Structure 1
Amino acid sequence: MSRATISRILVVFLGIFILFTAISINKYIKSPDFIRIDSSNAGSFSRKVVLTIDDIIKNNDQSYTINGWAILKGSNSMKDQKKIILLNEGNRSKYLFYKPTDVFRRDVTEHFYKKRNYDLSGFQLNIPLKELPPGNYRLGVQITTENGQYYIMSNEKIKI
């Protein structure tokens, strides 16, 4: 086989690779559970946000399941909206936000002496690994209330 033929074959494979990559990125960005915004839209950093990651489970190299709870002290969790933040430590200018499934957690209300209703503070999030570029991701939470958006980052990490 001549060098010219090999070059043409490589160009065709490269073109196919680029086409499939573009299609995959388009699907990735349009995923309804995925929101990408820059850190200026993350809200205000607040020590009033409490985040506990109970466990992180890797499911057969297909996905991660993250379970935990998060509150904004003094705010009723029944009205608050949560998003889990993934911050790629290799690109700190972009935060990835995922809407988790709410989980009923009466134990959190009990822990804080029933001063507020935190019963809906629990969450579960399943993240398919194919949706994330390789890297180390630090976990956090954003809580949206009637008064604004607040976030905090944990020291918990996942590796893709």
Structure 2
Amino acid sequence: MPQLLSMVQSTTITPFMAIVTSGFIAILMMIPSDFNQLVNYFSFASWLVYGATALGVITLRITDKDAIRPIKIPIPIPCIVVLSSVYLIAAPIINNPSVEFIYVIIFLILGIVMYFPVVRFKYQPRFMDSVTVFFQLLFDVAPPKGANEDERKE
């Protein structure tokens, strides 16, 4: 995603831009609904990601048996997480079906679609450099120490 979101504030060394962006998105999400709905939809999306992660662990355990794993957990644990996440995803939709769940799913799909050009293929629009410089000067943010070392290795 934009390099600007990984920058830290120069005096407090905190991820200022990421915090401001998260707060801005949360405020936008609060406009059409109340806090309880926001928690419900966030929980829905979170359990979708948790379930996909646990399913990935199970899939890798089956398809790549010989891989070196620094942490190896018993296979029933990710199975329980997958089953729990399926329940916690399906229960709100069954109990109280609403169009907002479709918005959450569309938002997640949009994130997956944006992943490929922006992260995988490292596409960056031309105007992003000037936007980054503007916000760096406005909020006194800079890349964290060591960030450029990784770029030099590539």
| TM-score when normalising by structure 1 | 0.22
More strand by share: 1
RCO (CA 8 Å, sep 6+): is it higher in 1 or 2? 2
More helix by share: 2
